[in-house]
Structure 1
Amino acid sequence: MSRPDISAIDGGNPVEQQATAWFVRLRADDASERDRQAWQQWLHADPGHRAAYGRIEALWSSLGDFAAAPELATRVPRPRVAPRRAPRPRRWLAAAAAATVLACATGMAFLLLAPAAVESAYRTGIGERRSLQLEDGTRVDLDADTRVQVRYDHRGRHVRLDGGRAFFRVARDSERPFLVQTSAGSVRALGTRFEVSRLGNAADVTLYEGSVELQGSADAARPAARLGVLVPGQRARMADQRMQVTDAAVAAGSAPGWLSGRLVFNDTPLPEAVAEFGRYSFKPVLLADPGLASYRVSGVFRGEDVEGFIQALGEVYGIPEHHTADGSHVLGNAP
């Protein structure tokens, strides 16, 4: 037998089944170099394969002496094994027993441990950016002053953006959808690249690659409503159970400017531009004149160069500036 019968164990997660079959095959007495090469190809074909195989290895190690306990098979239904044409060699008996125990243990682990999930929280401070790699290979870049909570289980991958902005490069995993939640709504994706930014009670989503589905916010009395689907190059603002789509003018395969410290404004309302600089400066910029809310800004600035931003506003719009005792920048004349 040159490769494992990945359909031998019926039921459950197909990727977990494949990982179990490879784990058992590689521990058989007649495992060949060809088997190991085929396993390596399978392992590198999808980040989800590597994650599943790692979970099987960890589960087997955690069983210890309990792996041979008869109670394991009595608490979980015995897996159905596909019939074979030829008798199985005796050297496969130990591997077959391992397959049965692993299948039972995997099933019991999901039954007993499914409510538990791997949860992590990450945050960045003023002027700080951070790059993360999650367990499935997904990369998340956090802009300054950002807070996220990550929750992974066998049914899904969930990220909650509590504040700030993040850029996601999602690893494809058809068994576990990837969901980014905000107070204004959520973003559902498979393998794709997109940015989500919190703006008060609203959220902006910019799609760089792939496809995402936007959903409104949900509560106990109302399930999430489907708002629509974005295509690359579009940006949508989610607020009040609606979305408004505009062209984002981003090139396919590109990334947000803030990853390299640049803030890019394209007809951006002045209050939003000021809020962007607030992520990078301990000395906030305040708008003293409510009339300034109607001003719009276009240009490229360094995130840490708030002085250059204020100088540009003065040159283009003639907006005066003064400082408070704590060093805050105040724009405009108070009414």
Structure 2
Amino acid sequence: MTGMTDSPPEKLDRIEREAHDWLVRFTSGEAGPADLREGKMWIERDPAHRTAFMKATRMWEALGPEAFEGNRPAARTFASISMSRRAVLGGGAAAIAASAAYLVVQPPLGLWPSWSEMAADYRTHTGERRRIVVADTTFVEMNTQTSIALRQVAKEAAGIELISGEALVATPSGAGPAFVVTSSQGQTSGIEAKFNIRNDGHAVCVTCVEGNVHVSYGAAIASLRAREQITYDRSGLGKPAFVDAAIVTAWQDDLLIFHSKPLREVITEINRYRSGKIIVVNSALGARLFSANFRVRNVDAVLEQVEKLFGATVTSLPGGIVLLS
């Protein structure tokens, strides 16, 4: 069976717990230089340590930091996902099935489509962009890590569902039904309009670039003019605010622009365009304001900039993990 191991259960459990402990320390926001040096030495000491750390990293990607809160529950969840021989022999099939089902819903590191993304008609991978034409009239530019499904909104009206990611939509000129983009139970529509829409899994952000668009979420409705932006999430529909639409859509020109953004937000955005994961392990560093422009093809240049500007330390670990402290 794939993913099984012949390591003694007691050794496997101990190493997995230690890998969890190190990743929790790295992602706590309070790790110091000594922690990073000691953690890297632990990882490099034994191939089993390296493997366990990479598995812990995949779980962190799949389940989020909350899976690591409370060492014992986290270790149990991880043991199920790693599918140890003891779990199989001990009748742990139900736990394994539950873990496997969860990983279909939320796969680690984007290695395969999630359950919802399997319904997508179009997908882009990390660092990839793609342009599609819907109903022969509407242009949709898909950014990195984006999944879209075609939807027939009404008998005469076409539309799409933005399952995840980001897209720039340009609707045709002339009279006709509005083009509708559905995302996370909200709807954005426009005629003779261009708008950017992004779904990061927590909130949906809509920016009107040209013309007028209408955004609805639940019973709330808002109209946006050019250079206005609005966000909705589980708490409801926000209020429109003026933004620089050129910065929002700079990704179309393979450019990322940051103006006085907290470094933790910059790194979150950078991670959408590169393999692996950059983690800011110091909360004070994450709060520092950062301004810079980067070409998408050279996003790792942010590491050099952060080193120079803030005197940060860059530590590379297995699994594409990079720690900033």
TM-score range, shorter-chain basis?
0.5 to 0.7
Matches within 5 A, 1:96-175: 121-152=121-152, 154-172=155-173, 174-175=175-176
- The AA in structure 2 aligned to 1:125 is H
State the Cα deviation string for residues 42-84 of structure 1 (Å, max 9, x = none). Answer: xxxxxxxxxxxxxxxxxxxxxxxxxxxxxxxxxxxxxxxxxxx
**Corresponding residue number in structure 2 for 1:114:** none
Partner Cα separation in structure 1 for residue 176 and residue 161 of structure 2: 20
SS in 1 for 2:319: coil
Change (3 A) 1:129 1:155: same
Rate the CA distance shift 1:293–1:188 in 2: closer, same or farther, 3 A. farther
CA distance in 1, matches of 2:157, 2:177: 4
Shift of residue 255, structure 1, vs aligned partner: 8.2
TM-score (norm 1): 0.56
Corresponding residue SS for 1:279: helix
- The 3 A distance-change label for structure 1 pair 213 and 134 is same
What is the alpha-carbon distance in structure 2 between the residues aligned to residue 125 and residue 281 of structure 1?
10
C-alpha distance in structure 2 between counterparts of 1:228 and 1:297, whole Å: 32
Q: Does 2:237 correspond to 1:242? A: yes
> CA separation of 1:166/1:325 partners in 2, compared to 1, >3 Å: closer, same or farther?
same
Considering Cα pairs closer than 8 Å and 6+ residues apart, tell me whether 1 or 2 has the greater RCO.
Answer: 2
Q: Deviations over 1:245-297 (max 9, x none)?
A: 3322236xx98211121111233343332232222211221222344443333
Deviations 1:6-57 (A, max 9, x none): xxxxxxxxxxxxxxxxxxxxxxxxxxxxxxxxxxxxxxxxxxxxxxxxxxxx
How far residue 151 of structure 1 moved from its aligned partner, in angstroms, is: 1.4
Q: 1:315 aligns with which of 303, 308, 315?
A: 308
Matched, 1:231 2:225: yes
In structure 2, what is the equivalent of residue 176 of structure 1? 177
- Map residues 1-335 of structure 1 onto 2, 5 A cutoff: 121-152=121-152, 154-172=155-173, 174-183=175-184, 185-216=186-217, 224-239=218-233, 240-250=235-245, 256-332=249-325
The change in CA–CA distance for 1:149 and 1:316 in structure 2 (over 3 A counts) is same
4+ aligned runs moved over 6 Å, structure 1:
none
* Structure with the higher helix share, 1 or 2: 2
Shift of 1:210: 0.4
C-alpha contact 2:120 2:163 (8 A) present in aligned 1 = no
CA distance in 2, matches of 1:255, 1:307: 20
Q: 1:226 to 1:120 in 2, by over 3 A?
A: same
Name the CA distance, whole Å, in 2 between partners of 1:120 and 1:195: 19
Contact 2:275 2:320 survives alignment (8 Å): no
Matched residue type, 1:323:
S
* Aligned-pair Cα RMSD in Å: 2.4
- In terms of Rg, which structure is larger? 1
| CA separation of 1:270 and 1:255: change in aligned 2, threshold 3 A | closer
C-alpha distance 237-272 of structure 1, shift in aligned 2 (>3 A):
farther
Any idea what the Cα deviations from partners look like across 1:151-189, whole Å, max 9, x if unmatched? 135242221111111001111464432111222632121
d(CA) in 1 for partners of 2:301, 2:239: 32
TM-score (norm 2): 0.57
Structure 2 contact 220–237 (Cα < 8 Å) conserved = no
The share of aligned pairs that are identical, in percent, is 23
Rounded to whole Å, the distance in 2 between the matches of 1:125 and 1:258 is: 15
In 2: Cα distance, 1:138 partner to 1:312 partner: 39
Looking at structure 2, the residues matched to 310 and 241 of structure 1 have their Cα atoms a distance apart, in angstroms, of 36
CA distance in 1, matches of 2:223, 2:215: 6
Name the CA distance, whole Å, in 1 between partners of 2:146 and 2:294: 20
- Name the aligned partner's letter for residue 237 of structure 2: R
The alpha-carbon distance between structure 1 residues 228 and 126, as it changes in their structure 2 partners (threshold 3 A), is: same
When residues 126 and 183 of structure 1 are mapped into structure 2, their CA distance, relative to the original with a 3 A threshold, is same
CA contact (8 A) 1:172 1:190 kept: yes
Asked whether the equivalents of residues 154 and 176 of structure 1 are also in contact (C-alpha less than 8 Å), the reply is no
Unaligned runs of 5+ in 2: 1-118
